[in-house]
Amino acid sequence: MKDYSITDAVACLRAAGVPVTLQRVEIARVLFAQPVHLSADQILARVRESAPDTSRATVYNTLRLFREKRLVRALLVDAERVVYDSNTTLHHHLYDIDTGEVRDVAADEVMVTGTPRLPPGVELEQIDVILRVRSGRS
């Protein structure tokens, strides 16, 4: 995670129009050092490694903010497992029901074709494709 410096994180937040604070920088470093799929609690745990006094509420509030600013996407893989995806480029997901693991699937590996007729005035926001698999391993 050291390849993503505090300076980089600050720049990223500023560019997105997010006021910079210590906690937001730490959360950004966890998310943007590399593409990850983490739950709010996993993010909290990682943030606390470097900023032990961070509260759960701050993580939730910050994740909501990041989502509004389009810095991360919430991915609904399971009713009790919402993960935050720091890869905002076009891609799909493979979800292992047994292990809970989430993997990216490149946009050219699985293609979605055809445009459904949308009612007038309705605009397409995003397309989610989730391949749910069972590995047997739990």
Contacts with a copy of itself, residue ranges (CB under 8 A): 74, 76-79, 82, 94, 96-97, 105, 108-119, 121-136
Considering only residues 12 through 71, tell me which ones interact with DNA, judged by CB under 7 A: 19-24, 39-41, 51, 53-58, 60-64
Q: Residue 129: left if φ>0, alpha if ψ -120 to 50, beta else—which one? A: beta
Residue 114 CB contacts under 8 Å (≥ 6 apart), including other chains: none
Q: Classify residue 84 as exposed, middle or buried by CB count within 10 Å of its CB (0-12, 13-18, 19+).
A: buried
State yes or no: residue 122 binds DNA (CB under 7 A): no
- Give the rounded distance of the alpha carbon of 6 from its chain centre: 19
For a copy of itself, the closer of residues 52 and 136 by Cβ is 136
Q: Shortest gap between Cβ of 13 and a copy of itself (angstroms)? A: 24
Contacts to DNA by CB under 7 A: 19-24, 39-41, 51, 53-58, 60-64, 79-80, 82
